[in-house]
Structure 1
Amino acid sequence: MRTRLAQKLHAALERRFPERRLFLRSDTETRFIRLHPSTQLAAWTGVTLVVGWTITATAILLMDSIGSGNFRAQAQRDQMIYEDRLNALSAERDLRAAEAAAAQQRFSTALAQISTMQSELLASEDRRREMETGLDVVQAALRRTMIERETARDAAAELKLAMADGGALPGGTDAASVEGTLDILSGALADTAEERDRIAEDAELAFEQANEMQLELRLMTERNDEIFRQLEEAMTVSVEPLGDMFRAAGMDPDAMIKKVRKGYSGIGGGALTPIQFSTMGAHAGHADQDAERANALLDKMDEINLYRIAASKAPFATPVKSSYRFTSGFGQRWGRLHAGADFAAPIGTPVYSTADGVVVSAGWASGYGRLVKIQHEFGIETRYAHLNKISVKVGQRVSRGERIGDMGNSGRSTGPHLHYEVRVGGTPVNPMTYIRAGKDVF
């Protein structure tokens, strides 16, 4: 049975691959090589496998090359868009800072003008009260003088009547003495009337000046309200993106600010001194309102300063500022966790600290190669691996944007790149969360 099956198989092979002979002739003899059907089948199968494998491998390489080219092109386009966005945001931030500085300057000038106007208004009010008091005294003196004048007129009439009748004057006074007394009284009355008119003119002028000062103060108050409104809008526009940045990174802004306020003792981090206005005069209530608004603005400025300090202590910056390719992100890769993000660039590309902190490790670390670890506030640690050169030492305090080493290919690495990690409480987190949160602010 087996022989018959073999014969049928051999017959089928002979129909597809008939026996062939390959003749080799020389000058003296001729030889041939017999190619059996099974040999031809084996050769045909081998050639087919080799050709198929070649076609498949070539297709895979072409597809990989095309995919890599598209990925690099897309990465370059994304990087260009990101850099343009960063430049635009930086320019907008500088413009906002200039506007805030100009508004603060106008605010300071307005406060100085308001203080001067208040002083002048208070002085005017004091002069007005003094003039009112003087007018009361003059009016009392005028009433007394008018009464005395009427009495003197009656006495003079009696004296003239007595002199006309030729009788003796009361008390034995002669006519010449009486005329002298009348002349003195008339002069005193004229001087009193002139003084009264002058005081009345001064009082009217004082009232006019007080009205002008009140008008100027009202206009100054309106300008001051406009300056306050612009400053309040600028502060709101400045504070909201900072809070959104912390929330986008999964951090509580209030907790961050509270921690920074509690632990910061240097210049620039404490609360600003509250503004106090004079409470004298009739405009004390408005001055208190201005003081409240000014102190609210100072609180906002203090909050922005604390946000700035907190942002400098969290890794919102990018570790590589030169051109790079983003080659691998955070997540599972080849069945294990890839605990960071990879930035590929030529060997020697500068690597920068992404936040203020203290270097806790700087040296060789097995698969990481040359590794730098930096401890930051809020329990955050950043790692910079596969470096070619380390430029910091353990215990050194570094600032955000400070160069800590050069990109390399040390450790278990398939090419020059930076492996960048962010760990919170020792647990790896996606570093792009912080970078994306800070891209609209820094």
Structure 2
Amino acid sequence: MSTTLKLKLNAFLERHLPERRVFLKSDTDTRFVRLRPGVQLAGLVGCSALLAWSIIATAVLLMDSIGSGNFRDQARRDQHVYQERLNALAGERDARAEEALAAQQRFNSALDRISDMQSELLASETRRRELETGIGVIQSTLRRTMQERDGARGELGDLKSAMVESGNTPAAGPGKDSTLDFLTAALEDTADERDQIEANAQDALRQADDMATELALLRDQNDAIFRQLEEAMTVSVAPLDKMFKAAGMNPDSLLNQVRRGYSGQGGPLTPISLSTMGEDPSPDASRANRILDQMDRLNLYRIAAEKAPFAVPVKAAYRFTSGFGYRRDPKTGGRRMHAGVDFAGPVGTPLYATADGTVIHAGWSSGYGRLVKIKHEFGIETRFGHMSRIAVKVGQKVSRGDRIGDMGASGRVTGPHLHYEVRVGGQAVNPMTYIKASRDVF
């Protein structure tokens, strides 16, 4: 900078910021500090900058406080909406459970009716066969009696002809009279027996007609019962089949695995046979056997559903804070894979097993904090992390709905929540796939 410019700048500052002296006096000495225009300008600029920074910082803090209040209000509103949604889902689940229970009761009642109808059908078939046998015997006896009657009439005619040819009349002697009386009585008895057999045959035919009518009514009733049972089984089995498919599980291979490993009920139900003569099953028997097959499938589905993690691990109020997949790490800010889902709630919120299984880990694990691992069927494993208390031990058998501990903030966390994982064959999968698949079933 040139000397002329410096002089002009100094003169400008002298007009607005003249040089000042500050005297500092003590008991033995007096000193002064010279405040040149440049020093005064530097101090003024510094004070102005400090004042501007204070104003800006105050404004930022005030805006952040207002924004935080808005975020808290929004979070409360979101939590309220989510709680209402959870309540609605819980109500819908309870309604589905009541419908399933009512359908099961109707199914059991219809099954009892089928059993009674089968007993009646067997009794009717036995009675029909007995009547057919009796009618056959009556017809054979009637034919034999009619032949005997015709033979007796022929013999009587021959006897009369022989008596006429020999010149003897029926009144010629007491022996002949007794013979004629005997033959006449025998013919009358034979005629009476024939009439009785004909009457018995007519009664048997009427009873056979009545039995045929009764059998037709029974078949109509059976058809109506079978239709109700088939509809009930379709309504019961179809949602379960859809649930397993939505969870990415093959229903057929799943049921085969359950059938091989489950022996508590002694295998499938015994097929029904209504025939007493070793004949092929009737259409009703075939329909009944198909229903029994569906009942066996429904029972296997029920067993499989207990062994797969279709339940929600938290039954109290919670907030869903993080889903499955890549996300920004809450600690480092980097992008990392989140292998589970997070349910936030107060410390001490009860946690429950989501399927039947065996506890294979119950203790501290780096990052997870207090961790519980449960091994289930079909190669599935569930993990419950960041717990405040563990209520199970390694090797313990648990069922779906058993309490395994409490929610906490142990391990690498920013606040109390449950980190819930589902692993299939050692690979992490989205737990919400199972939870969403079961919403319309349980």
2:144 counterpart of 1:140: yes
Change beyond 3 A, Cα 1:8–1:232: farther
Q: How does 1:411-426 map to 2 (within 5 A)?
A: 411-426=411-426
In the alignment, structure 1 residue 325 sits paired with structure 2 residue 325: no
Q: Residue 246 and residue 106 in structure 1: after superposition, are their counterparts in 2 closer, same or farther (change >3 A)?
A: closer
- Which residue of structure 1 lines up, in the alignment, with residue 338 of structure 2? 338
How far off its partner does 1:341 sit? 1.5
Q: Which residue of structure 1 lines up, in the alignment, with residue 153 of structure 2?
A: 149
- How far did residue 2 of structure 1 move? 5.3
Q: Does 1:293 align with 2:297?
A: no
Q: Pick the aligned partner of 2:64 from 60, 63, 67.
A: 60
Alignment of 1:12-411 (within 5 A): 36-153=40-157, 155-156=159-160, 159=163, 174-265=172-263, 267-268=264-265, 270-280=267-277, 287-331=281-325, 332-334=327-329, 335-411=335-411
| Cα drift, residue 418 of structure 1 | 1.3
| Equivalent residues of 2:352, 2:403 under 8 A apart | yes
Identity %: 46
Corresponding residue SS for 1:260: helix
Task: Give per-residue Cα distances to partners, 1:184-209, cap 9 Å, x unaligned.
Answer: 11111112111111111111111111
Q: CA deviation at 1:372?
A: 0.9
Q: CA deviation at 1:50?
A: 2.4
Give ranges in structure 2 of 5+ residues lacking alignment. 23-31, 330-334
| Residue 362 of structure 1, CA deviation | 0.8
Task: For 1:227 and 1:10, locate their aligned partners in 2 and report how far apart those are by CA, in whole Å.
Answer: 112
Query: Given residue 83 of structure 1, which amino acid in structure 2 is its aligned partner?
Result: N
Local SS of the residue matching 2:282 = helix
Distance 1:358 1:114, change over 3 A: closer
Structure 1 letter corresponding to 2:206: E
CA positional deviation for 1:409 = 1.8
Q: 1:405: Cα distance to partner? A: 0.6
> Structure 1 pair 128/436, CA: closer, same or farther in 2 (3 Å)?
closer
TM-score scaled to structure 2, two decimals?
A: 0.85
Return closer, same or farther for 1:91/1:216 CA change in 2, 3 Å cut-off.
Answer: same
Q: Greater shift after overlay, 380-389 or 287-296?
A: 287-296
Question: Do the aligned partners of 1:121 and 1:210 also contact (CA within 8 Å) in 2?
Answer: no
Contact kept? 1:345, 1:416, Cα under 8 Å: yes
TM-score for the superposition, normalised by structure 1: 0.85
Tell me, what secondary structure is at the counterpart of 1:102? helix
Are the aligned partners of 2:122 and 2:274 in contact in 1 as well (CA < 8 Å)? Answer: no
State whether residues 117 and 213 of structure 1, in contact with CA within 8 Å, keep that contact through their aligned partners in structure 2: no
Q: Is the 8 A contact 1:351 1:405 kept in 2?
A: yes
**What do you get for the CA RMSD once the two structures are aligned?**
3.3
Distance in 1 (alpha carbons) for counterparts of 2:399 and 2:430: 22
How many residues get paired?
Answer: 425
Deviates more, 1:272-281 or 1:296-305: 272-281
Pick which of 219-228 and 272-281 moved more: 272-281
Could you give the per-residue CA deviations for residues 114-134 of structure 1, whole angstroms, max 9, x where no partner exists? Answer: 332332343233333323332
Extract unaligned runs of 5+ from structure 1.
24-30
* Alpha-carbon contact 1:89-1:440 (below 8 Å) kept: yes
